[in-house]
Amino acid sequence: MKVISLQGIEKRMDKQVHIGPLTFQIDPGTITALVGNNGAGKSTLIRILTGKVFPDKGVIHRFDQLYSENEWKKDIGYVPQTAIGYEQFSLKQLGELYQIGYKNWSKDTFNRLIEAFNLPKNKKFETLSVGMQKKGLILLALSHSTKLLILDEPLSGVDLESQELITKELVSYMDEDPNRSILFATHIPEEVKQLADYIVCMKRGTVTGQYEKDHLIQKFKRLWISGSEEKIRNLPGVINVNINGGYWEVMTEQIELTEVALRKENLHVISEQTISITEVLRILV
């Protein structure tokens, strides 16, 4: 079963904003990070996945079926980037509304998370800090049993202690059901490193790649090599070469191919270093 499958999705919002065609999938039991610079199309894609916006072209399969709106929405928890539309409500009022809208609403989970996140029940959202608003939105999404969580910048504006609490709850959400999945958009490399199994990269409205995170990081290396500059620059996988301390500092995105070529060319590696997730993401986006 595929949790989400996109096939040739396209959407034009205006003359400047167009995304697609997009084709990728999300498997059960996985956490996928959606990364890209501002304007890459991440939020528009999330709005399409959650039914806030309808695509102009293509097909979305949710849970391997073409659900009607009411059928699939009960199985998706959504956390928007901002609390627009929630301002005049308190968490108590929102909890009551969600309880009416979702048959799988858990009042026990709702009350437990209010205490764990140290949030007031009766204050309007507009009076809360950005971090408290984000915790409130995440609390609401976690309080009804779903198959998929879609989160738009879930840790943005949240203090470090609250980030740890939220991360713990997201891990617990996954542990409760091996078929659950999470898709989250983020600008925070540490969030990708800590949570993601897979990375989907977007650039200028298109998906430029979908990667298994650990395998991706292992493919990137920084090497210090002695030898001919011409040979080094022509090595397969090499994306950057600089002179550093009498040796060539080389960055490769295909370490296995580069190592084979190094042996063939009889080039000597002085040292090597794993590249951080921050650098990898910067290269990809």
Domain that holds residue 268: 220-284
205 plus 239 within the same structural domain: no
70 pLDDT band, cuts 50/70/90, is: low
Residues in CB range of 147: below 8 A, 6 or more apart: 3, 28, 63, 75, 76, 177, 179, 180, 181
Distances (CA, A) of 22 to 17, 47, 79: 14, 14, 22
Domain boundary residue among 157, 187, 214?
214
89 plus 135 within the same structural domain: yes
- Residue among 49, 39, 27, 22 nearest 207 (CA): 22
86 plus 49 within the same structural domain: yes
Domain boundary residue among 214, 244, 267?
214
At 245-284, the pLDDT tens digits run 788 999 999 999 999 999 999 988 999 999 999 999 998 8
User: What CA–CA distance (Å, rounded) separates 152 from 150?
Assistant: 7
Averaged pLDDT, 134-139:
94
Local structure of residue 2 (DSSP, 8 states): -
Q: Identify the helix (H) or strand (E) that includes residue 130.
A: helix 130-142
Domain boundary residue among 180, 214, 248?
214
61 plus 149 within the same structural domain: yes
At 37-68, the pLDDT tens digits run 888 888 889 999 988 888 999 988 888 775 56
pLDDT given for residue 81 in this prediction:
87
18 pLDDT band, cuts 50/70/90, is: confident
156 plus 248 within the same structural domain: no
**Strand, coil or helix: what is 190?**
helix
227 plus 192 within the same structural domain: no
User: What CA–CA distance (Å, rounded) separates 13 from 92?
Assistant: 35
At 202-249, the pLDDT tens digits run 988 889 889 999 999 999 999 999 888 888 989 999 999 988 778 899
Domains in the chain, number:
2
pLDDT given for residue 138 in this prediction:
95
Q: Say which CATH number the domain at 49 has.
A: 3.40.50.300
132 plus 267 within the same structural domain: no
Averaged pLDDT, 126-151:
93
169 plus 190 within the same structural domain: yes
- Residue among 85, 87, 5, 9 nearest 44 (CA): 9
10, 13, 15, 21 alpha-carbon torsion, rounded to 10° = -10
199 plus 265 within the same structural domain: no
